[in-house]
Each structure stands twice: as C-alpha cells, then as structure tokens.
Amino acid sequence: MRVGELLGTPILDADGRRRGVVIEVRTRAEGGTGGEAALVVDGLVLATHRWRLFGYERRDERGPAVLRAVLRLVHRHTRYAGVDEVDIDAGSAVHLRESWDALRSVHDIPH
C-alpha cells in the first residue's frame, strides 16, 4: 500500500462509527544507511477534519506564537495512533483497536 492511498482514509472506531480521516503518515528509517534504509510506517495522524499540521505541532518548531496557538486550537482533537493501535483495511478504512479518546494527542507524541 502506498502512503497516498492512506491519506484521507476513513477512521472507524470499534463500533464502526466514523471518527475522522488519516491526514499524515509518520515513518522511520530502518536497516541500512543513507539510500539503503527502508522507510517503515511508524504511526498515523488522525483528525476529524482534513486540515494539515504544517509542522507547528512539533515541540521544537518555531514560528509566530499566534499561528501556533491557532493551529493548536484547531488540532486539539487530532490524534496519533501507532501501527500497533490500528488495523488497516487496504483501500477501505483504518479500524481503531483502542477508543478515540484513549489515543494520544498529536501534541504529545515524540518527534
């Protein structure tokens, strides 16, 4: 499955209710060095809307304080799910193994 196929995929909770969509895929390099390392999906950023994060959720990012505050407010319900917290039904939906409220806030994940 390609990353582009995951973006915009509906998120369903354990009861089958739609909770949002995938707005970002977080990856990490695994094995090898440089161009030989493979990118592996580490987790998904899930939101109740399709707005992007623009990097301001990262703790070490700098930028206008007003913009950071507005984006933090807009993304207060945006969640992060590790790959072990979801089941991906290719091309159809992402099913949560945990409740939406049990997932970490996107502002609390390590970068």
Q: What is the mean pLDDT of the chain?
A: 81
| C-alpha to C-alpha distance for 22 and 20, rounded to whole angstroms | 7
**Residues above pLDDT 70, as percent of the chain:** 74
Phi, psi of 22 (to 5 degrees): -80, 125
- Work out whether the CA dihedral 75, 102, 97, 80 comes out positive or negative: positive
| C-alpha to C-alpha distance for 111 and 109, rounded to whole angstroms | 6
Q: 28 or 86: which carries more pLDDT confidence?
A: 86
Most confident of 53-67, 69-83, 97-111: 97-111
> How confident is the model over 5-20, as a mean pLDDT?
91
53-67 confidence digits (pLDDT tens): 555 555 555 667 776
Instruction: Give the chain's domains with CATH numbers.
Output: 3-108 (2.30.30.240)
